[in-house]
Structure 1
């Protein structure tokens, strides 16, 4: 439960600025006010600690900086945060770990993490951390010991034999085998990231132990990096039922091991597959997997201003999920993350398209993820460091707390900052805040199922969300022109009230809904 200790007056002011008459009516209702103050949104927020907020003046973000900005995250309305790797690592990004039971000293200490988790929990915010479980750093003491063929750690990694094709590519698209003295080891991403051998029981036990360690420090779960690659190492492993079965066997074992410490541990997996049917099997051992194919569909729909069959595609996707994961739709939709160009860049800086992409994301089932700075419209294209640049808190450069480890993109100027957007009632930040709070205020948006609604034109995306008590209809106008849609559909509920809208102007006339350009509505 989110315990919001701030006054209701700023919330009323924000709602007045953002949502027109429907938002005003919602804010004026005592029942809705109570819901807003207590109900979670189910929205997660991804943070690169190095770029977030610096409390000791070294130019690098730290765990205390995350704690310092929890009130911002609470005001945004998120109910969980995902911290990119915080373990010691020789790289800036941390996806090559040297110690699974410690904190990168640039980020702080274990005590700092425990304090962060405690303060987050006081605000009803869950904390998960990146568990880089497929591989270690080549500077990890385990790997250094493994270079000795007589060491018990040698079998913690995979080594080529005389039959191995040393020129083979990996399932990740890079060179698979790398030299180490007279031997070659498997590292499907880079030579700096040797793959662990999960056929070794000691490896499995060590990784379960690492997960249990962080749960005891206050973590609520993990984002599982490269979850499909535990046993999917080579091109011929892709789509191989045997590799999939071995992956699932490991993740079931991992879940059982973590449940011994916390039976409510939340696990979300990075499974980079192009279709929902290929993601669905992972929903048996995991709570959710990132919906990579949906990301492409949402951005394409927003950019083209056409739904491109989005509703029926989602119907099929969720049916595949529910066939494996049960009645509730277990999903982790998102628009971008630390490996992809930022959403605003993919949408060529178009603010209207950004609005519709965000609105679609935040009215879908499951638990959506937002990448830090997305709510500000931060731009960023490859290479990877440019996707992970410092969060801009203030209009002024070099303000207190701003990280300086990486230069910021000049295109992300003073206007693309928390300070500037908090002061502008029409900013993207306020738009995201409005949509996230909708999920707290309308339980069907957060917990409900999904059914595509017959659209009147290909410029509209529409779906029903029902939680067994209430059913709402969500309609997004993806275009620059006002669109209309009939509500007199045989067999469908009768929708007669505009419950929420992103801006003024939506109206129901008889059995026809009118939706202004680039706006979204929720009907009851």
Structure 2
């Protein structure tokens, strides 16, 4: 979710001490046996979990870390190779995006020992674990902020305060009120910067002590077994006000901090994975962050994928992706560093955005899971869970059983009646044609076809605006992915000048795809991979 004076570098240094000619119709992937991950290449797919809504092991109605551990076999059978835990630190809020202690676990979720056990068990299954690092701001209940209310405290400069020239009515870059009253002390009224909310005062990253403390917090979690972090509000470290947006100075300061953060974490684990929440509208705006970070969430692509699925037209998706990945490669090298997704905890769920249309949901999922980078799936997405604002309705309990009263179901928030018994793991595991099996199939494709997982990208000339098609090449193999976005069969010529000769249907989401006389026929709402 967000700064200011030039850093005193000397003090900071001191404080840092993816056959045959016509493949058989694809069958739903069978759940993998526990401990079988070594026999299968990683899919590169991440899965976002809100611990509070996941699985309850102690009967208090709130999900916990032991609940995540208990369901690792489900995640393994789904085929994901990483999980992102939304904030697990102590916090006065249900969502956790206002932290009071960066080196502790929310007691409602468990203990540090529970986290270490979760990480160890995940690693046994070939699953990486990253946690949300709410790094732009703390809670106003943080001991740091409480101490900072005293102008004479060393912690005072850990936050940003208004002076007599400050326009206290200023809006923030996040669109909310920027300055908040801290209450009156004798002869003194203080206002602090909190670009998201009064409950979330912004840290001052021009203070070397703040930088050192946050690097130390990251190092702490790496030592507990975390594999990296999802960085909340990564663009807002120095982008606080409307005039900071698109300001190259603010961007340079953001990147300087993230480079310093990377160096600090690499000292503990040089393989630390960092993915940033950078809410920008174009790939060109996202690309600069790929120098210090491993990936950034591709917000503009999420919009394009859902629009294409909903309209049943590609809307120039292929060429747009060509341009986007070219911008990424110019900064991050030949390996496409991307974190594509469809929705997350801040957005209406995909099924709701698609007006509950299950065919469009499958189309969106198939596009997402055949793209470069490391895709992210939001918990319950694979079940077709519905959810519209307000925010708690986007984060409602994961449905494991047909009955909401079954053991382990969380009850902290009432579920949407539209997400009935059929929208549950129990029901969908029993149905070989369910969305859950569809997601499992697609995720397993990435493990089985190296070019889908590691390959580059090139848009393929489409014969119709109802088709989306792209090539994926990993240096050893080239495959062609074709998605029929529409409810009518479509055909596409496979004799584009200069293109490889594709003659085999390697994978397909349903029966009927075929190649005749160098022309591909694709049934309605079907995705295929050609070799």
**2:303 corresponds to which residue?**
296
**2:76 corresponds to which residue?**
74
Q: 1:241 Cα shift?
A: 0.1
Residue in structure 1 matching 2:244, options 219, 227, 237:
237
Is residue 248 from structure 1 mapped to residue 251 from structure 2 by the alignment?
no
Measure the CA separation in 1 of the matches of 2:277 and 2:412: 27
Q: 1:23 Cα shift?
A: 3.7
Q: SS where residue 139 of structure 1 aligns?
A: coil
Measure the CA separation in 2 of the matches of 1:176 and 1:486: 56
Instruction: Tell whether the 8 Å contact from 2:54 to 2:410 is kept in structure 1 after alignment.
Output: yes
1:336-355 residue pairs with structure 2 within 5 A?
A: 336-355=343-362
Q: 1:25 Cα shift?
A: 13
Gaps of 5+ in 2: 1-21, 31-35, 184-188
1:35-434 residue pairs with structure 2 within 5 A?
A: 37-181=39-183, 182-434=189-441
* Pair 1:461–1:145, CA change in 2 (3 A): same
Q: 1:445 Cα shift?
A: 0.1
Q: SS where residue 406 of structure 2 aligns?
A: coil
Residue in structure 1 matching 2:24, options 21, 26, 39:
21
Structure 1, residues 128-154: CA drift from partner, whole Å, max 9, x if none?
Answer: 000000000000000000000000000
Q: 1:489 Cα shift?
A: 1.0
Measure the CA separation in 2 of the matches of 1:461 and 1:184: 52
Q: SS where residue 437 of structure 1 aligns?
A: helix
Structure 1, residues 423-452: CA drift from partner, whole Å, max 9, x if none?
Answer: 000000000000000000000000000000
Measure the CA separation in 2 of the matches of 1:468 and 1:305: 32
**2:487 corresponds to which residue?**
480
Instruction: Tell whether the 8 Å contact from 1:36 to 1:437 is kept in structure 2 after alignment.
Output: no
**1:503 corresponds to which residue?**
510
Measure the CA separation in 2 of the matches of 1:99 and 1:468: 46
Q: SS where residue 247 of structure 1 aligns?
A: helix
Gaps of 5+ in 1: 1-18, 28-33
Q: SS where residue 521 of structure 1 aligns?
A: strand
Instruction: Tell whether the 8 Å contact from 2:28 to 2:440 is kept in structure 1 after alignment.
Output: no
Measure the CA separation in 1 of the matches of 2:158 and 2:291: 27
The normalised TM-score by structure 2 is 0.93
Would you say how many aligned residue pairs link Structure 1 and Structure 2? 500
Q: 1:397 Cα shift?
A: 1.9
Q: SS where residue 194 of structure 1 aligns?
A: coil
Measure the CA separation in 2 of the matches of 1:25 and 1:263: 38
The normalised TM-score by structure 1 is 0.94
Q: 1:67 Cα shift?
A: 0.1
Instruction: Tell whether the 8 Å contact from 1:395 to 1:420 is kept in structure 2 after alignment.
Output: yes
Instruction: Tell whether the 8 Å contact from 1:20 to 1:503 is kept in structure 2 after alignment.
Output: no
Q: SS where residue 21 of structure 1 aligns?
A: coil
Q: Could you list the structure 1 runs, at least 4 aligned residues long, displaced by more than 2 angstroms after superposition.
A: 22-27, 34-38
Instruction: Tell whether the 8 Å contact from 1:460 to 1:477 is kept in structure 2 after alignment.
Output: yes
Measure the CA separation in 1 of the matches of 2:497 and 2:130: 45
Measure the CA separation in 1 of the matches of 2:468 and 2:364: 11
Measure the CA separation in 1 of the matches of 2:51 and 2:321: 33
Measure the CA separation in 2 of the matches of 1:363 and 1:397: 34
Structure 1, residues 438-481: CA drift from partner, whole Å, max 9, x if none?
Answer: 00000000000000000000000000000000000000000000
Q: SS where residue 250 of structure 1 aligns?
A: helix
Q: 1:37 Cα shift?
A: 2.8
Measure the CA separation in 2 of the matches of 1:113 and 1:275: 36
Higher relative contact order structure (alpha carbons within 8 Å, sequence separation ≥ 6): 2
Q: SS where residue 473 of structure 1 aligns?
A: strand
Measure the CA separation in 1 of the matches of 2:72 and 2:421: 22
Instruction: Tell whether the 8 Å contact from 2:369 to 2:442 is kept in structure 1 after alignment.
Output: yes
